[in-house]
């Protein structure tokens, strides 16, 4: 099973991917995570991408597609892929089709998480993660049970993404509307788009996705 999770920043793609990985042993291919790892490791790609990401703009189609290609090449063909944050442009959608063919895969579903923009800004500016295990939290929606201590691993180190400020979030939303939303009709004509209400609770969204995946 290979699926794309599509939706604006903050729609819950990362949260749902994490759950699908645990529940079904699928593999999350998040270009955002790959780019942040490259920035941290100060690779040539990371150095080039950092300023673009900090502005909330899109990194080049070639760079992200190469990252996806390398991950698919290293994966067991039997393991399902969740594309999270990729493709984000018409060109990336075409490149993904070519990559799937190259790696003997096909696309089962494009799951679109629908959300309200003002809620997204609140979600994103309030979110943070454990610096040790990556568990995701939110200031008001799901803070750690003991303030300052990670529920999952007990670490007391937390971090926020540098691009999770209101100004950058607005740019990321514009990029989504202008460049990413237009890839949906192509998938719609293939009959593989399924819509889920991303404003529902995490568990309700999870149940809706499970129903689609069967
Ligand atoms: N497929 C992609 N194409 C171009 N840029 C990307 C892509 N994936 C991630 N990026 C870059 O990384 C940033 C963070 O992406 P991501 O982690 O998916 O966050 P979000 O969906 O919350 O905006 C984006 O704003 C963009 O600069």
Which residue's alpha carbon is at the smallest distance from atom 1 of ligand 1?
86
Mean per-residue pLDDT for 175-184? 97
CA of 178 to the centre of ligand 1 (A): 14
Q: Is the CB of 38 under 6 A from ligand 1?
A: no
pLDDT at 205: 97
Mean pLDDT of the chain: 96
Q: What is the number of the ligand 1 atom nearest to the C-alpha of 32?
A: 17
Are 23 and 36 spatial neighbours (Cβ–Cβ below 8 Å)? no
pLDDT at 128: 96
Pocket-testing residue among 12, 14, 32, 119, ligand 1, by greatest number of atoms within 8 A of Cβ:
32
Segment (H or E) for 159: strand 158-159
**Complex prediction ipTM:** 0.90
pLDDT at 20: 96
pLDDT at 192: 98
Residue 102 annotated in active site: no
Residue 127 annotated in active site: yes
Residue 172 annotated in active site: yes
CA of 146 to the centre of ligand 1 (A): 31
Q: Distance between CA atoms of 4 and 81, rounded to whole angstroms?
A: 8
């Amino acid at each position: 099973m290979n699926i794309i999770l599509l939706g604006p920043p903050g729609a819950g793609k990362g949260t749902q991917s994490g759950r699908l990985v645990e529940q079904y042993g699928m593999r999350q291919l998040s270009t955002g995570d790959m780019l942040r790892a490259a920035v941290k490791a100060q690779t040539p790609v990371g150095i080039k991408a950092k300023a673009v990401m900090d502005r909330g703009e899109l990194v080049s189609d070639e760079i992200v597609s190469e990252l996806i290609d390398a991950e698919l090449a290293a994966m067991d063909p039997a393991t399902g892929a969740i594309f999270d944050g990729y493709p984000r442009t018409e060109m990336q959608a075409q490149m993904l089709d070519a990559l799937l063919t190259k790696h003997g895969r096909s696309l089962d579903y494009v799951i679109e998480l629908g959300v309200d923009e003002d809620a997204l800004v609140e979600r994103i500016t309030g979110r943070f993660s454990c610096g040790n295990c990556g568990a995701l939290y939110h200031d008001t929606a799901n803070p750690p049970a003991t303030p300052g201590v990670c529920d999952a691993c007990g670490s007391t180190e937390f971090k926020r993404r540098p691009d999770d400020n209101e100004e950058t979030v607005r740019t990321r939303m514009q990029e989504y509307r202008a460049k990413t939303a237009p890839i949906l009709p192509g998938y719609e004509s293939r009959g593989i788009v399924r819509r889920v209400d991303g404003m529902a609770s995490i568990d309700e969204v999870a149940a809706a996705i499970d129903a689609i995946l069967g």
